[in-house]
């Protein structure tokens, strides 16, 4: 089969490691199409560039490359004169983790801290020692590599509670401008309620695919008195799914 793929960032081919990709128990582990799939995923424009040398001095050192650390390091390094070192305990993620629904295939692997909860009193009756499994990414990108890519902010009341307990600048009203700054929402109707924005680095949109089961589920929820609406809006109960654009997930 002929394949004419243009790689925007050719040095990323250095990181193509088919053996590593096959070592995870994904549905594509033994597929002949795996190399093609990986090359397609690697064409993403926003792939991280990993430094091959370490300087002797940095202006900032950020420890942990999860959603928080990555955003802090990215914002700090927007100034070209600022040097930032982002330290991560885990390795570079396999390319297949870029498929959001694939997270479960990497849980319990070497990119997971493999935590378990303490034995639970009220839940986990079917589990060994009543301990729940607690996935946590030990990998460049942290838990965001396992994330299902649902665009979900924290609960506004939690921020207000933190502010009330002394976390200056963390009230819902004070953090909202930062949430808006990071968002690039592709659904114009969603922008109307004032809780969404465009122009930020994280793209969000409704999933294009709508399962047949979605409407009956919403109908059942309505019958039970649940609101169907924007879970990032003023009222956060109910459901209204959005996903992050794959290319800007990490």
Which chain residues interact with ligand FAD by CB under 6 A? 63-69, 87-90, 103, 135-139, 142-144, 146-150, 152
Nearer to ligand FAD, 38 or 141 (CB): 141
Nearer to ligand FAD, 43 or 238 (CB): 238
Nearer to ligand FAD, 87 or 217 (CB): 87
Cα angle 66, 68, 69; round to 5: 70
Nearer to ligand FAD, 20 or 39 (CB): 20
Which stretch of DSSP H or E encloses residue 212? none
Largest CA distance in the chain: 63
Contact 75, 67 (CB under 8 A): no
Nearer to ligand FAD, 44 or 149 (CB): 149
Minimum distance from CB of 146 to ligand FAD (Å)? 4
Minimum distance from CB of 81 to ligand FAD (Å)? 25
Q: What are the start-end ranges of the H helices in 172-213? A: 172-182
Minimum distance from CB of 66 to ligand FAD (Å)? 2
Minimum distance from CB of 132 to ligand FAD (Å)? 12
Contact 185, 191 (CB under 8 A): yes
Minimum distance from CB of 136 to ligand FAD (Å)? 6
Residue 111 CA to residue 138 CA, distance in Å, equals 5
For the chain, state the CA radius of gyration.
21
Contact 23, 95 (CB under 8 A): no
Q: Which residue is nearest to ligand FAD (CB)?
A: 66
Look at the block and give the residue holding tokens 């990497």: 106
């Amino acid at each position: 089969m002929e394949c004419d793929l243009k790689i925007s960032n050719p040095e990323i081919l250095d990181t193509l490691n088919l053996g590593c990709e096959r070592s995870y128990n994904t549905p594509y582990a033994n597929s002949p199409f795996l190399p093609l799939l990986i090359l397609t995923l690697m064409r993403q424009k926003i792939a991280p560039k990993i430094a091959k040398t370490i300087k002797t001095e940095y202006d900032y050192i950020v420890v942990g490359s999860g959603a928080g650390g990555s955003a802090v390091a990215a914002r700090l390094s927007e100034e070209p004169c600022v040097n930032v070192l982002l330290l991560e305990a885990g390795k570079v993620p396999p390319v297949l983790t870029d498929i959001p629904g694939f997270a479960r295939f990497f849980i319990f692997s070497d990119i997971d801290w493999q935590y378990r909860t303490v034995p639970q009193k009220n839940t986990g009756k079917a589990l060994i020692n009543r301990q729940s499994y607690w996935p946590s990414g030990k990998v460049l990108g942290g838990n965001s590599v396992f994330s299902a890519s649902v665009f979900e902010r924290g609960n506004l009341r939690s921020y207000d509670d933190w502010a009330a307990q002394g976390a200056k600048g963390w009230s819902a009203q004070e953090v909202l401008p930062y949430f808006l700054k990071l968002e690039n929402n592709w659904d114009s109707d969603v922008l109307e309620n004032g809780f969404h924005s465009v122009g930020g680095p994280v793209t969000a949109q409704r999933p294009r695919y709508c399962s047949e089961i979605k409407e009956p589920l919403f109908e059942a929820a309505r019958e039970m008195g649940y609101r169907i609406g924007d879970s990032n809006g003023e009222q956060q109960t109910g459901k209204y799914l959005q996903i992050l654009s794959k290319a800007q997930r990490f």
